[in-house]
Structure 1
Amino acid sequence: MLLLFLIFLLHTTSLVTSSSDLRPGFYSNTCPEAEYIVQDVMKKALFREPRSVASVMRFQFHDCFVNGCDASMLLDDTPDMLGEKLALSNINSLRSFEVVDEIKEALEKKCPGVVSCADIIIMASRDAVALTGGPNWEVRLGRLDSLTASQEDSDNIMPSPRANATALIDLFQKCNLTVKDLVALSGSHSIGQGRCFSVMFRLYNQSGSGKPDPALDPSYREQLNKLCPLDVDQNVTVNLDSTPLVFDNQYFKDLVAGRGFLNSDETLFTFPKTRGLVRFYSTHQSQFFEAFAEGMLKMGDLQSGRPGEVRRNCRMVNARRAHLLPDSQQEMENKDEIHACI
């Protein structure tokens, strides 16, 4: 029985990791082509549908802020678990899960059971930025995939598009991320699109006033009124900045001009504590790129310390026999604490 249990642990890779375990070149011996494979699939996705790579890049944010970077957000619901895909900040917003499926399938063919879905998110996010003109950086790898997910945790942690700078600063500080990290990482909205749903209150009822947000540039507001009228299907999408296919510092230039799409974006310019950094990055693209890469690395280090595995399918945990797990591990698998960062 002991031998059977040890074999089971070896195959499920149920280990505890910390940020100190993460390192560049983690798969250099076990799957040396891993990063090339991820990049190749991301290139194909960019060619097929440019918006998809921006969608995949956001996975790192929605994954890492909720109980660490463990690919919990990729898990589909089960009869016993409400996953994170239908959480308030994710439903009708996160998309392009099929790109991760494609990456995982390619990696499983080459190196079965080796590369975690959590690391796929980290690599694919980096590639999404680099392939659209942004910075490139050496990622730290070696994460494990979570054994569970929590819609409740995601609902309680992830910020709303209505969030102001104070709320965002508080969230980032809980994750040991600075105001500089907040402003730089908000530059992820340099690529991609957002839904009309996220801007309707700014156009028609800011702060319950029945009026538009006064921070909106009048000509930009008129443009948004045409794209997102009151009777619009609120899943219609609008560019997050004026160069949505190119990762650059145009996002910050737009904020300075009152042309930020989301309230949580424009608040970075209207709030005194963050305004200076927005101005700085609007005129210093190379410094923005450097700060963005640094912030992505710091965010990627967030780990919960919970048991994990390398999933064979990113949408579901590997098959296991519960009676072989020690009581302490079963308790950790069923653990239902909310970590508004680690």
Structure 2
Amino acid sequence: MTGIERLHKNERILDSHGRTVSYLRLSVTDRCNLRCAYCFSKDIRFIDHQSILRYEELLTIVDLAKELGIRKVRLTGGEPFVRKDFLWLVEHILARHPELDLRITTNATLLAGKVRTLKELGVTHLNVSLDTLDPRKFVDITGRDFFRQVRSALDEVMAEGIKLKVNAVAMRGVNDDELPAFLALARDNPLDMRFIEFMPMGDDDLWSDMRYWPASDILRQAEELAELVPVQSFDGGPDADRGPARVYSIKGGKGRLGLISPLSDHFCGTCNRLRITPDGKLRTCLFSDREYRLLPMLRHPNLGPEAVLRAMRLASTRKPLGYKLLAARAKGHSVAGKRMSAIGG
């Protein structure tokens, strides 16, 4: 029996605020093939290859997460599909843990042609980041002319019956004029169209009060365009396995509208997630720059998985309340010291 097997299996973690950890966001790379204005800067430095978690190490992290009672794992980036043999990782995670709720967040530029394989491997949910439905504006935002590839991939996902969420960073003066088109996309297709409040991350110099489009304004404007019915709330208790979005069905439509409001109306009371960066650092809160360095332990001959498991358990019990960290930051300062692609979404 291994050291890991001697530990309590599926022992769920309850933090000091009564929240249960059940969800891990695991970033496989900080690299991306897009150059989104709010994420990418000219002086950006990517993590060197030797400092990135190897696939075998990512598999070990998932094994340990299962030991801690985590039931849902999301693979993120950067853009996960730019990493060579990414589908190998997906296949081996689900081969080891077929009961795991494994999801992927992608910009979908490299997704077309891979959707059926993902379904055959057991992937049932995909999140696609897409900030505009205008091909010309897509180039302006991302620096790349890949809109047709993304739109084709969305059609493939829906045709294969994989549950689809489309995530747009809500930016006034950038995509607020497209709210009718985004709602039409959700009305006409079986997907969740979700708006995420724009947050200043790392050294981002695009964010400003003028660009901030709060969820309350989005909801008010959306209600003028469609009849919305709330279908999800935050009253499910600390053990609820749900995401942070407030979700609304669209009367007469196939899809739904979702709003994620980390700045204007936090969901810290029900936060159930951990994040692990591409270089193996554990973050227990998006808004906390405190990180626990797991990679050196994984590679240390006298430490290894048992030490990592203990560190993950201890760190998880100390999860802070993010809204308190935000309140303590000076107005206009970034909500985190790193850019989102380096954290893992």
What TM-score do you get using the length of structure 1 for normalisation?
A: 0.28
Largest Rg, 1 or 2: 1
What TM-score do you get using the length of structure 2 for normalisation?
A: 0.28
| Structure with a larger share of its residues in helix | 1
Relative CO higher for 1 or 2, CA cutoff 8 Å, sep ≥ 6? 1
